[in-house]
Chain A
């Protein structure tokens, strides 16, 4: 390891954590963010001579804001967060309750605070609160989790999930479930509990699908991918997005030249369906590069989890890894027709302030763990 050589010198150096920044991870993040900014612009600039830069400007602002967050979060040794876990958790719970009362409804889900310049989505930040809370509890009880403790863990996870279900935002619920499952696995919960939870989780999804919590259109969207002929309305998005991706071919139609993208055939193409713009305009070369960059990010997070000096750091990395993997797989899979349609953004590429900020702050935590792995 490079650290061995740096070892003694770095311990005396106050700025030493910066010598352990994961440059590869930062470069991959920067690459993804660059693709994201470019594609949001391509998908929103509009047809005709009057170029719409409003999305581009806001996206850059979100990225810059998120980068500041990433920087701030990575400076302070992550172990200090241990003591802030519950205040953060409480603040998010407060936000999730408040959004149900005074939030703005978009696409049928009451999940946003309208802050004029952007919409704040408390559930996005809630992911970080859940990761920190679960990491703290699993660290305390490391390796010794009985059913009672498991119940406590699940209760802590279930509270925000329940509030999000009321919005309702099924996609977000699934992200939370992914975080819980990933962290329980790495946190040392017994295999048979995990299997049992998986069974219960699947059963829960079936129950939700058959309950009145979701509107008919949401259920149709979720199930249409399994039976494309069943619902033309619900399959329209997926069929158009697959067409766009397929149309890109190997080298793509060129940046700003995707006919399906530019002519508005793919709905929500700057947010949930932005991967189609990548696929159509940059082709297999571009889309595979983007996926590969995500792969690099995953690899570096996974590696950081292994290198972490304590379980708390490892579990934070696991939580971040879990939601990023799930979001990338679900989002890209959805646009390619192998996953159900849910409103899950593609990390750092989809337009949206809360998602970008949360993702960057989460990656800041991972960088933090990496930088502080020796002290």
Chain B
């Protein structure tokens, strides 16, 4: 063939064409057959999104079903950055949004919106929330002028509401936006997911403290998930379908409701009594200086099963402040510079105090059950001449210990020693235990541990401390843990003075208020110790709550609206009315409703405040219980009659005036009818170097079948009988069905230790 023939040249062209088509086929084969799977994954990732809809959190109820923590709807303004940019009016629209927000009551700068939109934690294809809890009017403005707000959407979210106000803050805790650490803890990372069934979005809420945190897995609702197809601009086109043709979506399921063991009435009384007592005592002169009145706590347990009926800590906080995120400045204000002012410390479980004379329960128990107080010559005998001073034998240095105010109580037996709180009586026991440690071992310490001191009680709240029961080994270990240069100031040896200090709950002995109450509850239950519990039941979601509207609230004709628990917090005016009403409890209803006060400025009658309507409530008998706490006996020890009876007799007299002696809490209980509602109780006054004394008081009633044990600790404020006992009296009165003058308001009693 001629080399230049058209046929040859056509063949060359043909070969080129065939090879080009071969290339195309090969590439097509690669893309669609060999590598197709990976491209299919990319295509799905491109065009599908999972859209989550947060479910409301479960509610938190008191033991009667009253809804203490509820949900309400909050409006959220979100901006979709790419849609905003597409409109070409970004600056104008953001300015308009900022203006509307400012006009709506939340001053906002454009720069703040910009910062939010630039925040890398948000997906620029998804709406980014820029303002939450905006007023309803703003939604109307935006919904009616969509052309003015391209890319701006308003959505709804359930947020926490507190129908009964800021009550039980230290039990329920608060909710905040989840942070990265918590996210990782719950659902792992993208690389190592944990398969948490209730997935969180970066902006989701989670419980931060107390029950909200501890019960997070119950309270958190399961978000609804919808698989949607989006177009290239990120607009949702439609809901994707399952293979069977139904839309691929699940509805959000609200979280489970939590029923607390707490009784809202007791809790509110406890908080109010504590707060008012602290306010009253603040600045009063005491034997150890001016009372601080800054901090304190109250615990109430059911000694029969460990139910936590109330748990109050002061200073406290309002969980609703966290609903829209709390400002750093406000948070720091609540945290306080001084630990004494930190509102977030739950002092009832996280405050450590020397128990002072309340510890005499332990010392007495130890002395009686070991036989130390048996009749001589084996023991010391139960009676002792208390001349107000005790001198430690074989001792050098400061060897003299005394009662409060060197008060001589005369001849006292064990019961009386508790009633009058004789220190000298217990110094002798402490000294003897030290001397006869070969025979009795660390009887005080082991008894203290039997009562639950020195270890956490196991309450279902985060942040509980275990306290300290000091013994020789503890002291040596502490010394050895000191840095060498500080060991010169320490001392590894356990001295008689250490045992003596411990005998009256001083020295290095430290306990939480909860442990203290738990110990008395254990005593009441004859050595049976329950694990205190805050969460009683877990309910399936969906129980309807009755929510009587304002104004049509039924008023109980017998109590008016002023029974404790429904009384509005005392304002300046309200306090006066309360006092008047309190003079005649039965007339309280008519007093408040018929006596019209005159406004000092206008001279017109002031409308009396309407009684507070009852809040939402759930009928627990209709609710589905998913889980219920079974009362758990953590520990039992033998408390024989020979130990129980004398102590019981003494504690029963603490709030009474006897024939010979006056109980240390008797002045505080005044006309409280202890015959109708007998209580066992004990005062305590703990000394702290260079500080005002800490006042303590513990009480259980009605004896002999106590249904409640309470304890209160008032930091740096004076004698337990003076400062602490009146607090518990106020809480006990409605429980005992006694409404007396003194119980209606804070008071300082005459009592001492």
Contacts and interface: CB of A to CB of B under 8 A. Distances in A.
Contacts of B39: 242-243, 245-247
Contacts of A305: 10
Interface in B1-50: 4, 6-7, 9-10, 12-14, 16-17, 20-21, 23-25, 27-29, 31-33, 35-36, 38-40, 42-44, 46-47
A185 B232 CA distance: 45
Contacts of B36: 246-250
A250 B32 contact: yes
Contacts of B9: 185-186, 188
A336 interface: yes
Given A279-B31, A287-B28, A298-B17, A263 B229 contact: yes
A318 interface: yes
Contact of B10 (A287, A288, A302, A325): A302
Given A182-B13, A247-B40, A333 B24 contact: yes
B46 to A, nearest CB: 6
Contacts of B38: 246
B233 interface: yes
Given A250-B36, A259-B43, A47 B21 contact: no
A309 to B, nearest CB: 12
A50 to B, nearest CB: 14
A314 interface: yes
A213 to B, nearest CB: 27
A131 to B, nearest CB: 15
A236 to B, nearest CB: 10
Contacts of A256: none
B61 to A, nearest CB: 47
B13 A185 contact: yes
A218 to B, nearest CB: 22
A324 to B, nearest CB: 10
**Main SS at interface, chain B:** helix
Interface string A263-301: 111000000000000010001100110010011001000
Contact of A279 (B14, B20, B28): B28
B229 A279 contact: no
B33 A284 contact: yes
B13 A321 contact: yes
A263 B17 contact: no
Nearest to B28: A287
Contacts of A321: 13, 17
Interface in B224-260: 229-233, 237-238
Interface centre among A243, A247, A259, A321 (most CB of B within 10 A): A247
Nearest to B48: A259
Contact of A306 (B10, B16, B47): B10
A329 interface: yes
Given A188-B4, A246-B39, A260-B47, A284 B13 contact: no
A283 B36 CA distance: 10
A325 B32 CA distance: 22
A329 B20 contact: yes
Interface centre among A246, A264, A265 (most CB of B within 10 A): A246
Interface string A305-332: 1100001001000100110010011001
Contacts of B47: 259-260, 263, 265
Contacts of A337: 27
A305 B47 CA distance: 47
A291 B10 contact: no
A96 to B, nearest CB: 27
A302 B17 contact: yes
A143 B233 CA distance: 58
B43 A250 contact: no
Given A185-B9, A185-B13, A264 B29 contact: no
Interface centre among B32, B36, B229, B231 (most CB of A within 10 A): B32
A31 B16 CA distance: 24
A248 to B, nearest CB: 6
Interface residues of B, number: 38
A249 B31 CA distance: 8
Interface residues of A, number: 46
Contacts of A291: 21, 24-25, 28
A361 interface: no
A325 B19 CA distance: 11
A244 interface: yes
Given A247-B40, A279-B28, A318-B13, A264 B4 contact: no
Nearest to A258: B43
B32 A284 contact: yes
A37 to B, nearest CB: 22
Nearest to B14: A302
B16 to A, nearest CB: 8
Contacts of A332: 24, 28
Contacts of A53: none
A338 B25 CA distance: 12
A318 B231 CA distance: 43
A314 B43 contact: no
Interface centre among B31, B231, B238 (most CB of A within 10 A): B31
B6 A298 contact: no
B32 A245 contact: yes
Contacts of B233: 264
Nearest to A308: B6
A242 B31 contact: yes
A318 B17 CA distance: 12
A87 B33 CA distance: 50
Interface in B112-131: none
Given A263-B231, A305-B10, A332-B24, A243 B46 contact: yes
A340 B23 CA distance: 15
Given A250-B32, A333-B23, A325 B17 contact: yes
A284 B27 CA distance: 11
Contacts of B29: 284
A42 to B, nearest CB: 16
A185 B32 contact: no
Contacts of B33: 249-250, 284
Contacts of B17: 298, 302, 321, 325
Given A283-B32, A336-B31, A186 B46 contact: no
A279 B10 CA distance: 31
Contacts of B230: 263
A286 to B, nearest CB: 10
Given A333-B23, A336-B31, A243 B6 contact: no
B27 to A, nearest CB: 5
Contacts of B25: 288, 291
Contacts of A325: 16-17, 20
Contacts of B32: 245-246, 248-250, 279, 283-284, 287
Nearest to B230: A263
Given A243-B43, A284-B32, A295-B21, A186 B232 contact: no
Contact of B40 (A240, A249, A263, A294): A249
Interface centre among B4, B7, B36 (most CB of A within 10 A): B36
A182 B16 CA distance: 10
27 contacts: A47-B238, A182-B13, A186-B6, A188-B9, A242-B31, A243-B46, A245-B28, A245-B39, A246-B31, A246-B35, A246-B39, A246-B40, A249-B36, A259-B229, A260-B43, A263-B231, A264-B233, A265-B232, A279-B32, A284-B28, A291-B21, A302-B10, A302-B13, A306-B10, A321-B13, A329-B21, A336-B28
Given A265-B47, A336-B31, 16 more contacts: A240-B46, A245-B31, A246-B31, A246-B35, A247-B36, A247-B39, A247-B40, A250-B36, A259-B229, A260-B43, A288-B25, A298-B21, A306-B6, A321-B13, A332-B28, A338-B27
Interface of A: 47, 143, 182, 185-186, 188, 240, 242-250, 259-260, 263-265, 279, 283-284, 287-288, 291, 294-295, 298, 302, 305-306, 311, 314, 318, 321-322, 325, 328-329, 332-333, 336-338
9 pairs of A and B residues whose beta carbons are closest in the complex: A246-B39, A247-B43, A284-B32, A263-B231, A264-B232, A249-B36, A259-B47, A246-B31, A336-B27
